[in-house]
Chains A and B, each alone.
Chain A
Amino acid sequence: MDRFVWASGLLEINETLVIQQRGVRLYDGDDKTKFDLGTVLLSTHRLLWRDHKKHDCCIALPLSQIIFFEEQAAGIGKSAKIVVHLQPVTLNKEPGPYQSSKYSYIKLSFKEHGQIEFYRRLSEELSQKRWERISVSQPMQSPSRSQAGKVKAVGIVGIERKLEEKRKETDKNISEAFEDLSQLMKKAKEMVDLSKLIANKIKDKQGDISEDETIRFKSYLLSMGIANPVTRETHGSGTHYHLQLAKQLVEMLQVPVEEQGGMMALTEVYCLTNRARGMELLSPEDLVNACKMFEALNLPMRLRIFDSGVMVVQLQSHSEDEMIASAVETVSEKGFVSSEEYAKLVGISVLLAKERLLLAEKVGHLCRDDSVESLRFYPNLFLTQD
């Protein structure tokens, strides 16, 4: 460990980062060091380690000092390690964390795994020895332990320094932001454990699930947009949330649906509303439940499900008969149409065009011609002629 020097954590010019890995502890030979949780970074020139909380605590050693390295497999309660054997200390080495060490090797302990890739990259770098070919220049900062805080600067050097500082800050912010994600993962784990517990209890039919656990469970599920599974409620009763949502949807959809001719596929509605909302996105489940409430709330829109299963939102004023009559007229003029042709003629989606033609066929105004060419619709001469 006495081969390490204090570093700023900044990469030198022409030095490139190859790989980094979190959750690494350093060992001086076989002894644990106080550097027990951090990120190990491999660059083209150096091996660095930075404390995961105190980012200004950073140490480095040149790759040229590495003689060879080997894997140490994980054991029970022990993480996998890479053992790095080092050359003797150079005489005019910069100050580092250890003045001396009785070991000529260190260990990197990968508590969060990642050792395989790191090992591979380290092998690559040590065989390529890029540090011999690419010369680096020191970043404009004293090699001693860097200070957090403002850096005084003048001229181009100063600008460069400021940029570096900014980059470091951004890096820090990103890591902090992702810490929230790790919190989320922790919470998800809690929920998974809870659901497993409940599932097991139900399976064993052992004892009662406590009221508290049930409530917690239900609240998790609701927050994910899943309806209460215990009572198997359907949209029938609806929740207050869906009620409000339904009103909001109608307001928002009035104009777009009108423009589309009074009918819009539910998938389009989903895309439209979520794009408009931007942040608090709707789950498909919530959307469908809200739409199902339109009729009950006397709103001027309806959720309609065709025989084929296609769901659309339709203006209440939309007259089906008018639509069918106009479809039949169009088909008669053209002799026959396919769904695609009709969609283009009227300016609606192919899906809705097909539904309208199928509807006209259902009431007997159109008949179909299904051949290798395509599915076409004709006026129903079987019923009108002779």
Chain B
Amino acid sequence: MSFEWPWQYNFPPFYTLQPNVNTQRKQLAAWCSLVLSYLRYHKLYTIDVLEVQESSLFHNKKIQRKLPIEAIQVVFEELRKKGNLEWIDKNKTRCLIMWRRPEEWGKLVYQWVSKNAMTNSVFTFYELCNGDDTEGEEFHGLEEWLLLRALQSLQAERKAEIITLNDSKGVKFF
């Protein structure tokens, strides 16, 4: 299924940061939702700002409109405030995107573990993300840094414990 663009994507004013406060709020909400669903569709977890500026996400060649860099920064700041984005560097050139928050991932992983009655088992990170057993699961293909955060949130709920194996990380579920 190809990516479905929202109606705003083809609406030229979408690419101008609106001065009216109420209008802007709606505009930014639409952008945030578009960014997250686009990255989710393409299974992207990190973004390079300069690269993404030219991608079809922010540049609609058909109507010849581009979201200017200042506005992109505003959108990213919104995402950061909502907990979906984290800057990797101080200069804000690269960031981590969590179109699902770590807690949500944690829940999904734990659900799968419970469903398969595998609590009290130990898994390596690799197994969870890339193992054959997890193929078809949403968290399959998750990047390890994100899995770590997901498990950390479970750890906080005492549903898991992260352990260090020989040369990799693993987790035990309760």
Determine the distance from Cα of A385 to Cα of B26 in the docked complex, in whole angstroms: 10
Partner of B20, one of A364, A369, A381: A364
Task: Please give, as numbers and ranges, the residues of chain B lying within 8 Å of A385 by CB-CB distance.
Answer: 7
In the bound complex, how far is the Cα of B11 from the Cα of A376, in angstroms? Answer: 12
Interface flags for B4-43 (1: CB within 8 Å of A; 0: not) read 0001100111011011101100110010000000000000
Interface string of A318-347 (1 = CB under 8 A from B): 000000000000000000100000000000
Number of contacting residues on B, CB 8 A?
Answer: 17
Q: Do B12 and A371 touch (CB < 8 A)?
A: yes
Majority SS of interface residues in chain B?
helix
- In the complex, how many residue pairs between chain A and chain B have their CB atoms under 8 Å apart? 49
> With A and B bound together, what is the CA distance between A315 and B26 in angstroms?
36
A336, A368, A386: most-surrounded residue (chain B CB, <10 A): A368
Q: Are A369 and B27 in contact (CB under 8 A)?
A: no
Q: Are B19 and A368 in contact (CB under 8 A)?
A: yes
Residues of the B chain whose Cβ atoms lie less than 8 Å from the Cβ of A364: 20, 22-23
Assess whether B12 is in contact with A361, with CB atoms less than 8 Å apart: no
B22 with A378: CB separation less than 8 A: no
Asked whether A383 is an interface residue with its Cβ less than 8 Å from the other chain, the reply is yes
Q: A367 to B7: give the CA distance in the assembly, Å.
A: 15
Contact B27 A382 (CB under 8 A): yes
- Whether B23 and A367, one on each chain, are in contact in the complex, defined by CB atoms closer than 8 angstroms, is yes
Task: Please tell me if A370 contacts chain B, counting CB pairs below 8 Å.
Answer: yes
Tell me whether A382 and B12 are in contact in the complex, defined as CB-CB below 8 angstroms, given that A364-B23, A367-B23 are known contacts.
no
| Docked-complex contact A369 and B23, CB < 8 angstroms | no
Q: A371-B65, A383-B26 are in contact. Are A378 and B11 (CB under 8 A)?
A: yes
Could you tell me the distance in whole angstroms from the C-beta of B67 to the nearest C-beta in chain A? 11
Knowing that A369-B13, A382-B13 are A-B contacts, what are 13 other residue pairs whose CB atoms are under 8 Å apart, sorted by A's residue number? A364-B22, A368-B16, A369-B16, A369-B65, A370-B16, A371-B16, A371-B65, A380-B20, A380-B23, A381-B11, A382-B8, A383-B22, A385-B7
